[in-house]
Structure 1
Amino acid sequence: MADFLLRPIKQRHNNESKYVTIESAGGSVSKIEPIADFVIKTKLISSSGPEKLQEGKKVFINVCHSQLVPKPETDFDARIVFPLIIQNEWEIPIITSCYRRDHDKKGQECYTWDCCIHSDCSRWIREDIQLRDILVEWCLESCEIRDSVALCRDHIAFPKMKQKGAEIPALEILNDDLQRDYKTKMHEIIEQEARDPMSMLRVSDDNDCGDDDDETLPPLFPAAKESPGVKIEEIDESEVARKRDEESVVARDQKDTSEYEVKMKRYGGAEYKLRILIEDKAKNSKPGLFFPSYSAAENVLYINEKLSIPLPCDIVSSAADIKIFHIAKERKLYIYI
């Protein structure tokens, strides 16, 4: 997930379908005029924000760029950057707008977001297909975080258009946000949590307190609650043992359940000829449980010794042709050949 997410100070009014500018106390503002690059098309799965959006509606994301958007400290070099991405140490800063309502070609209502990156980053994703795929996922996540929605990953398309809508609205960003050192701030938070784990709990408690001015401390021991009369019943030990056995069988079955979704995409005339995306869909699975292995004799890729993927003979000549990138948090495995 892209943790470098800058929020425009344009926010949606609760009662009107327009934007209002939020004044900042003493903070100067930069106005960014985005340059259209390409469009991501998907659909809305769910909405949990203050404004409920209609599920199933089409979603368009304008990926655009500007020289005013911050860029990563390290310029893109595939040999250096991809290992850093796997370790969550390199990301492309994204400025994400609020959603706005629009209409598709059939006149049906849809939702549009704008994701703006630095112009150099736009050039990088044009030159590297894999980085473009990763940026698409970061843009989807940024929109989800921006307006508390969930977007579909199964039917992503790229319409032949530079932008959705007649124009992309300008973004107004606080200069303090543009100049803030997020990497240093994140390290400070991590170090503080390591030194004093209770600090995070205290912050959470402070946020939950609201405007309550009552300084009275709660009792050290909670007051005993009167029970409405608990009856003591005799327990059948054989029944307890039977239920315990049933629970262990269910737990074992759930532990052994594996569910993978595999998608393949061919590329013509590119550095990589084939991309394989493997996603762990099992509800009980945990991040970081992919163990890929390649059998040159069989020309088969094995995942966790449970999933076998025969590879085309005209593409793979040796194991050196295969590059694997694992995004643990998303339970996804990207394979480029």
Structure 2
Amino acid sequence: MNLKKIFLAACIASAVVSVPASAGVLGVADLAITGLALVTATTGNGTLTPGQPIVGGIKIVGDQRTGSAAANFNNVQAIGAGDGSITGNVDTIDVKYRCAGPDCAAAAALYAAGGQAVGTTDAQPENNLHTHISTPTLNFAMGDMVIAGTAVSGPGANGLTRADSSVAASTNKGGASGSINNGVEAQSSTSFQLLSGADVGSSVNAQFSLSYDVFRKVFIDPANVNTKGIATAGTSFILELSSNDPDFISMTFAPTILNGNFSSFSAAGNKEVNQSGTALSDSRVLRAGFTYTVTVTQSSLSSASEVPEPASVLLIGLSLLGLGVARRRRG
């Protein structure tokens, strides 16, 4: 093979090395309900003061809850301890976090470094309310959820849904692609009755008090213009209150900040919400002798994928073809 052909093959081969590494893509949807309780809105016929849980004035007649968590990385399903979906009438439903991808161990250490997990004595990814991934430096998908307590009795309820998807540059070397879908959901339905007595009276004006921490982010690294990315992140929280009281007006409580979806197809579409706060629902009069049902649905969903531009794929193909031609002719 003459020097011209050798030089051509070498130039084409070097194009493989010079193709920029794939840009990172991130989708994060973390929603923590740190407190949800039924409280008095104003004084009713009893002696309760506004803003206080109705301790001792509620009888729970039915309770059911379900939780699920799932994730996959390049169509390989996540693994985790125990079942990925749990249904029961126990106080706590906790689906252990599920992780897929080559960097699950590193991701676990990253979450652990960010804060102590809820209800544990050491820092672990499980039920971590505090750590939020901001940059796609790892390749993994992780989903986690937990719901505990009841919103209508005692200190109230709390819950977490986390769906984090990260595709870093190393996933797409050579023009391969990575795709992640990741979601978690928690739902509880509780039926209760107001107890008529000295503390409550025959009715009480009540509302739900909610404290939250929400983090949604979609990010596509602008460093590489030769890679198209798709990132999505969404969270949802909806509380519905109904009754067999013919005079009761059903209520839906869905704070805007907790219900949203982001999508990004380029760095120009990168978005983030990071907020903690409190919210109060509308108030309703609860009357003794009737049954009330509160249903809470909470979910998180995210995805991240990288797709090389056609020009990059063509360049890689041409370079491999050039190497093959040179090799055959040398032989």
**TM-score normalised by the chain length of structure 1:** 0.20
Greater share of helix? 1
**TM-score normalised by the chain length of structure 2:** 0.20
Greater share of strand? 2
Tell me which of the two structures has the higher relative contact order, counting C-alpha pairs closer than 8 angstroms and 6 or more residues apart.
2
